[in-house]
Structure 1
């Protein structure tokens, strides 16, 4: 990753996203999903919920950076909890 001048946290972040995408693709191949309606006001598939979760997790982190002095690990923990809730019941 030196050729892109990435820091370790940046490389870990994008590596994590890549692993999530590989895991979701494998899960879709092994067990195709059926669209359903949870607490979100739209019918969604697993991929839709993943996208919504990643997008809202970015907003959670941006909010923490803009409005608080709290460590980003707190925002990350909240994002993980949000993703679990969204993927399960969204």
Structure 2
């Protein structure tokens, strides 16, 4: 099969492997400690670990897209650092 039309590069593969790794780690965490103690954070509705992972991934996607929009020629490494800080804040306060 020829996948050249999909523009699969090593960074693209690393991105999808990182998401796969996150899902595997969350599955192992859930198996080791079921339930995850749902809590009410600053959003004022009940969230679980999976919900917080989804919110952090969704927000990170928007942060990276915003970085590409506003800083067209810039590297995405600063955006990645911002995404990690954002994910930490989501898991702590949401």
TM-score (normalizing by structure 1): 0.90
> Once the 2 structures are TM-superposed, how far is the Cα of residue 88 of structure 1 from its aligned partner?
2.0
Kindly indicate which of the two structures has a greater share of residues assigned to helix: 1
Residues 47-86 of structure 1: matches in 2 within 5 Å?
Answer: 47-68=50-71, 69-86=73-90
Residues 8-87 of structure 1: matches in 2 within 5 Å?
Answer: 8-32=10-34, 33-68=36-71, 69-87=73-91
Larger radius of gyration: 2
CA distance in structure 1 between the aligned counterparts of 2:56 and 2:69, rounded to whole angstroms: 20
CA distance in structure 1 between the aligned counterparts of 2:44 and 2:11, rounded to whole angstroms: 34
Structure 1: 4+ residue segments shifted above 4 A: none
Structure 2 gap segments, 5+ residues each: none
Structure 1 gap segments, 5+ residues each: none
What is the count of residue pairs matched by the alignment?
89
CA distance in structure 2 between the aligned counterparts of 1:3 and 1:36, rounded to whole angstroms: 47
RMSD of aligned residue pairs (Cα, Å): 1.5
Kindly indicate which of the two structures has a greater share of residues assigned to strand: 2
